[in-house]
Amino acid sequence: MKTIVIFGVLILLTACAPTFSELQSARTVGKDKVEFTPSFSAVQFASDGQINSVQNHVGLQLAFGLSDKLDFRLRTEYIWLTDEFSNGIGMIGFGPKYNFVLNRVSFYLPIGRAVGQDTGDTWGMHPTLLLTQPLLKEKVELTLSPKYLFPFCKDCSDLIAVNLGLAFSSKISNWSIRPEFGVLCNPQDQGVYTQFSFGFSRRF
């Protein structure tokens, strides 16, 4: 019964793709260039002083540069309860990302859904603002990414998430290592979900 309840919560949280981890900055990849980012995330739930592991997921993001300011991004994830890898669900998402201030401010609008057995109608969108601050030119940068999670299903709640990610590299415009921490909540409920993620981005 516990597994069914938790899995139901996962369906609610994953009412659209991508998941609330971000693993990108405000940078766009550049016209006719491609960037890929494989990643791993662990999600916990914290309430009343208790922290419980909920799920893990592995994913892959692809970004295609349509212009110097506009990318089209694709993302796929496989999500499973922490002890039940074989009973996971998939997620797919896609959408445009537009850069307003060079390498500093972008807006991303992905839409998507969960896929797999019994996932139902889980379409939704995650409008996201990406705010990037260079800490060491082309070597270290910090990105804050607040987002609003809007599921299209009638009985699902809107959610709010904020991620804080770092990028380390010898030249960030070519490749980067991306650790990230994020928080997701339903303003009407107690407790928060947190995620710790690790990704690697490479641009061609």
Q: Indicate the number of domains in the chain.
A: 1
| Alpha carbon distance 164, 131 (integer Å) | 10
The confidence score (pLDDT) of residue 7 equals 38
| Alpha carbon distance 18, 58 (integer Å) | 12
| Alpha carbon distance 142, 50 (integer Å) | 29
Sorted by sequence, the CB contacts under 8 Å of residue 184 that are 6+ apart come out as 13, 20, 149, 159, 160, 161, 192, 193, 194, 195
The confidence score (pLDDT) of residue 11 equals 40
The confidence score (pLDDT) of residue 138 equals 95
Alpha carbon of residue 98 to chain centroid: 17
Residue 184 and residue 196 in contact, taking contact as beta carbons nearer than 8 Å: no
Residue 122 belongs to a domain with what CATH number?
Answer: 2.40.160
The confidence score (pLDDT) of residue 53 equals 86
Domain hosting residue 186, numbered range: 2-203
pTM of the model: 0.88
The stretches in the chain having pLDDT less than 70 are: 1-18, 117-121
| Alpha carbon distance 30, 186 (integer Å) | 36
Q: Which residue shows structure tokens 């995620």?
A: 195
